[in-house]
Amino acid sequence: MAAENDIVLIYHEDQPLVFARVEDIQPDVKKDWYHIKLMLLQLPVQVVTWILKDDYINGTEFTMGGRRMRLEKVEPPEPEENPQQEHEEEQSGEESRSDASGPEDSREDNVISLKNRKPNSE
């Protein structure tokens, strides 16, 4: 079952409609039914509370106003291994080990400090 802070994709008539974050799940007075509070990740952001069976929260299709709906928990993607990036990191590590006073890690050139940035007064 989806839990608090999980991201779900809401399907309407088999079409992905909107992402939402599960804010809260509280049991209803009826067994196996829950009040699920969802923050819809759209503009403007909205918070809705639906009363759903645990099966519906787990992804079983249901109807709302005669329309087919379904929740699908979104799993974060696994980070892809990039052989080129690994090779660059290995070379950078070898250079650092071979000469302690040598060039700094090349990734530092990509860091942009916002600390001293002045706001644009236009």
| Structure letter (DSSP) for residue 55 | H
User: What is the structure's pLDDT at 38?
Assistant: 98
Q: Hey, which residues does 72 pair with through a beta bridge?
A: 9
Helix and strand numbers (H, E) in the chain are 2, 6
* pLDDT, greater one: 103 or 119: 119
The mean predicted confidence, pLDDT, of the chain is: 83
Element (H, E) at 23: strand 15-27
Element (H, E) at 34: strand 33-40
Q: 53-96: per-residue pLDDT in tens?
A: 999 999 999 999 999 999 999 998 888 876 666 556 666 655 55
| Structure letter (DSSP) for residue 106 | G
pLDDT-derived band at 110, boundaries 50, 70, 90 = confident
